[in-house]
Structure 1
Amino acid sequence: MKKNVLITGGTGFVGRHLTDLLVANGFSVSILSRSKRANTENIFYYIWDVEKQFIEEEAIQKADYVIHLAGANIGEKRWTNKRKTEILSSRELSAQLIYNSLVKYNKNLEAFVSASAVGIYGAMNGRAICNEEMQPANDFLGLTCQKWEAAANQFEKLGIRTVKIRTGLVLGKEDGFLKKLVPIFKLRLGSALGSGKQYMPWIHIDDLCRIYLEALKNPLMTGAYNAAITDDTTNELFSKRLAKLYGYTVWLPNVPSFLIKIALGEMAKLALTGRRVSSEKITKLGFRFQFQKLEEALKDCFSGE
């Protein structure tokens, strides 16, 4: 029997790539969805409703692992009070549903792996390198990630090995962080944001999915791990590299910070602040990033265009 991985948020950008990798590595995958879909040989779909705290029992009973990716997109809409509540509750309530279901059916897992984000270190600038031992920040980004991880930590009470993947900006061919930038840069209108000096910890989608696979297979993985390249990529450098792929040099001045704040409100922090992070903890386990240089990662994302 193939080991089964139950994924929340499995139909999203990361979830789709991760499903393909898991199937290629001999797993079967169960994906939770709000509507029924047709199963395939190795991919099964089950209904869940987070608000009603409902999940099909079979999804829980057949799971050997759970990967928890579900959560409202933090950069999709302005951070109104209502939206902030949605961002927080979507992460907490979905994890709680999985937890309650495991308890209800007296089901154990080999591992529970949860998404998190480098935003746990807060909306900060500066050259300090953030590692997993640092105290979380008390701003909205930091608090969101703290609650996200706290929802994951409760699985440890059930004796389940628990891993939290603190993800940077995900680079991929058809989605992720680049999706909003590509149309602008294609028109040769790309430029840096604000000072341009804010750091941008990034990771290629393939490497991120390989980290999740490692989290399932490696019994030594437990606790939090940064999933981002340790380098000095700033917003200005990122903009220059992206423009170069389209055959031009950035010619427009940086977009002023005040305009970004007007357009995005408090969410402007996502664009105007950044942080450097250390990936030493994951590499000490023997994990090796396939894409360690930004230019190589971007070229791969745009290969075939």
Structure 2
Amino acid sequence: MKIVIAGGTGFIGKKLAQFLLQEGHQIVLLTRGVYSNHENITYVRWMTHDAAPEKAITSADYVINLSGTSLSKGRWTKKQRDRIYSSRMNATRELLRLIRTLAQKPAALINASAIGIYPPSATATYSEESTEHADNFLGRVASDWEHAAKEAERLGIRTICLRFGVVLGQNGGALPLMALPVKLFGGGRLGSGTQWVSWIHMNDVVRAIRFVMDHDQIRGAVNVTAPQPVHMDELGRMIATVLHRPYWLPVPSALLKLVLGRKSAMILNGQLVLPQVLTKEGFTFDFPTLKPALENLLINK
């Protein structure tokens, strides 16, 4: 298959591209940078003043949108929040423009989103059937991003919005940052520790993306989280257990807010989110529970 990926050089995108290449698919990566093509992978410039991706791409079996400024990058100043928001909206609109030009339309648009669309809660349980949307920055970003992507449905294209949880991987995301103080013997509870963490192993992320491609009945929102969320304190303690390190130095919420500013909400707020669609459709997780996932990522590298 010919699969076009926006954001294919990012944290999830790199792993996804490698996974799809191993299956023998033809990958087209949309990028602002300059890269050399090689077997089964083509780089196409886009989102620059002189870019015309429609001249290089005339057909696609699937289009996957993972593009957007990282939430982890920099403090959430007004300028950075605008950059996070606009990068997602602009990339999605440009993808839709590109799709309209294709002689062969894709079978589906698979668009990234996030569980931040759900309101933070210590008691609620969210599935794809939940209608509540968070009235905060992350909630508005995710909600507007999904709304923009669903414009593809007007073109008759199946559209899936992947609501990613906390993705645990080796070379990016939250895990290396959380494991570092533990490795340095300074690990401890973050904030109250009671906030929910709806996590997922990177291997299951890329496998879930591949799964929704193959299942035509799946459309709309899909929670990409492991079936057993944990509290933040349990996550921290399990990291310490796996690394054989102490877990003793708590970091108060006030200190996190002082150091991280608005971005501290990513640590101090949480949601219990279940992957109802994936489970119902028969997806099998390689890492449904936390300890084996952490052992795989932190020890069995």
TM-score range for the pair, normalised by the shorter chain length: over 0.9
Determine which of 171, 175, 185 is the counterpart of 1:174. Answer: 171
- Aligned match for 2:227, one of 217, 226, 230: 230
Structure 1 equivalent of residue 263 of structure 2: 267
Give the superposition deviation at 1:83. Answer: 1.1
Q: Find 2:40's aligned residue among 35, 39, 42.
A: 42
Compute the displacement of 1:207 (Å). 0.4
Q: Is 1:8 the counterpart of 2:22 in the alignment?
A: no
Q: CA RMSD in A?
A: 1.6
Output the CA distance in 1 between the equivalents of 2:105 and 2:139.
Answer: 30
Q: How far apart are the structure 1 equivalents of 2:298 and 2:55?
A: 40
User: Does the 8 A contact of 2:29 with 2:43 survive in 1?
Assistant: yes
Indicate if the aligned counterparts of 1:60 and 1:102 stay in contact, CA closer than 8 A. no
Tell me the percent identity: 35
* Preserved contact between residue 7 and residue 30 of structure 1 (Cα < 8 Å): yes
1:290 aligns with 2:286: yes
Aligned to 1:113: 110
Note closer, same or farther for the CA distance 1:238–1:113 as it changes in structure 2 (3 Å cut): same
1:276 aligns with 2:297: no
2:192 to 177, 190, 195: 195
Instruction: Using the TM superposition, give the Cα deviation of residue 106 of structure 1 relative to its aligned residue in structure 2, in angstroms.
Output: 5.1
**Deviation readout 1:275-305 (Å, 9 max, x if unpaired):** 1011122111111111011000000002346
Matched, 1:205 2:198: no
Choose which of 124, 129, 132 in structure 2 pairs with 1:133.
129
List gaps (5 residues or longer) in structure 1: none
How far residue 232 of structure 1 moved from its aligned partner, in angstroms, is 4.3
The code of the aligned residue for 1:270 comes to: M
- Indicate conservation of the 8 Å contact 1:199/1:275, yes or no: yes
Q: Which runs of 5+ in 2 are unaligned?
A: none
Which residue among 273, 298, 301 is the counterpart of 1:302?
298
Contact 1:32–1:45 at 8 Å: present in 2 too? yes
The answer to whether the 8 A contact 2:16-2:206 is kept is yes
CA distance in 1, matches of 2:59, 2:102: 11
Query: After TM superposition, what 4+ stretches of structure 1 lie above 4 angstroms from structure 2?
Result: none
User: 8 Å contact 1:131–1:278 — kept in the other structure?
Assistant: yes
Contact map agreement 1:60 1:107 (CA 8 A) in 2: no
> Separation in 2 of the partners of 1:140 and 1:94?
19
State the number of aligned residues: 300
**Are positions 1:28 and 2:26 aligned together?**
yes
With structure 2 as the length reference, what TM-score do the two structures score? 0.95
Amino acid at match of 1:214: F
Aligned to 2:91: 94
Q: What SS is found at the alignment partner of 1:236?
A: helix
Contact 2:112 2:162 in 1 (8 A): yes
Question: What is the deviation of 1:14?
Answer: 0.7
CA contact 1:200–1:235 (8 Å) conserved in 2: yes
Q: What amino acid is the match of 2:20?
A: L
The AA in structure 2 aligned to 1:12 is: G
Give 1:270 deviation, angstroms: 0.8
SS of aligned partner of 2:17: helix
Q: CA deviation at 1:35?
A: 2.1
Task: Determine the C-alpha separation between the residues in 1 that align with 2:50 and 2:161.
Answer: 23
Distance in structure 1 (CA, Å) of the matches to 2:224 and 2:78: 29
1:25, CA displacement in angstroms? 2.2
Partner of 1:147: 144
Bigger mean CA deviation after superposition, 288-297 or 228-237: 228-237
1:274 offset after TM fit, Å?
0.4
Q: Shift in Å at residue 58 of structure 1? A: 4.3
Partner of 1:49: helix, strand, or coil?
coil
CA deviations over 1:190-246 (Å, ceiling 9, x no partner): 111110100100000010101111121111111111011232411111110001122
Is the contact made by 2:53 and 2:98 (CA closer than 8 Å) also made in structure 1? no
For the residue of structure 2 that corresponds to 1:61, the secondary structure is: coil
Q: Deviations over 1:133-164 (max 9, x none)?
A: 22211111111100110111001010001011
In 2, the alpha carbon distance for the partners of 1:226 and 1:102 equals 25
Higher mean C-alpha displacement, 12-21 vs 171-180: 171-180
Distance 1:59 1:223 in 2: 29
TM-score, with normalisation over the residues of structure 1? Answer: 0.94
CA gap 1:100/1:263 in 2 versus in 1, 3 angstroms:
same
DSSP 3-state at the match of 2:200: strand
Contact 2:54/2:101 (CA < 8 Å) preserved in 1? no
Q: Following the alignment from structure 1 to structure 2, what is the Cα–Cα distance between the partners of residues 234 and 212?
A: 26
